[in-house]
A = this chain, B = another copy of it.
Amino acid sequence: METVERFIDQNRARYVTQLCDWLRIASISTDSKFKADVARAAEFVASDLRGIGFRVEVFPTPGHPIVYAEWLNAPGQPTVLVYGHYDVQPPDPLDLWVTAPFEPTERDGNLFARGATDDKGQLFTHVKSVEAWLKTEGKLPINVKFLIEGEEECGSTNLDAFIRSNKERLRCDNVVISDCSQFAPGVPAITYGLKGLAYYEIFLTGPKQDLHSGMFGGAVANPANNLASIIAALRDAKGRVQLHGFYDDVVPLADWERKQFAELPFDEGSFKKFVGLDVLFGEEGYTTVERKWARPTCDVNGLTSGYQGEGAKTIIPSRASAKVSFRLVPNMDPLKVTASFKQFVESRLLPGIQCEIREYGAGPAVLVSVDSPGVQAAARAVETGFGKKPVFVREGGSIPVVGTFKRELGVDTLLLGWGQNDDNLHSPNEKFSLADFHRGIRASACLWQELVQR
Contacts and interface: CB of A to CB of B under 8 A. Distances in A.
A291 B219 contact: yes
A221 B275 CA distance: 11
A208 interface: yes
Interface of A: 195, 197, 199, 201, 206-209, 211-222, 224-225, 227-235, 239, 271, 275-283, 288, 291-292, 295-308, 311-317, 320, 322-323, 325, 327, 350-352, 360-361, 395-398
Given A197-B314, A208-B275, A239-B218, A325 B213 contact: yes
Contact of A325 (B195, B280, B312, B395): B312
Contacts of A307: 301-302, 323
A325 B206 CA distance: 18
B327 A213 contact: yes
Number of copies: 2
Nearest to A316: B299
Given A276-B209, A302-B308, A352-B279, A235 B225 contact: yes
A222 B282 CA distance: 10
Contacts of A288: 219
Contact of A214 (B220, B278, B327): B327
Contacts of A197: 214, 314
A218 B448 CA distance: 37
B225 A327 contact: no
A42 to B, nearest CB: 26
A310 B325 CA distance: 15
The list of the 7 closest CB pairs from A to B, nearest first, reads: A208-B276, A214-B397, A232-B232, A228-B231, A224-B300, A302-B306, A221-B281
A342 to B, nearest CB: 17
A231 to B, nearest CB: 4
A299 B222 contact: yes
Contacts of A314: 197, 199, 301, 325, 397
B291 A302 contact: no
7 contacts: A195-B214, A219-B291, A220-B281, A228-B322, A279-B352, A302-B315, A302-B317
Contacts of A276: 207-209
Contact of A300 (B271, B292, B296, B306): B306
Contacts of A398: 214
Nearest to A231: B228
Nearest to A398: B214
A207 B396 contact: no
A216 B301 CA distance: 12
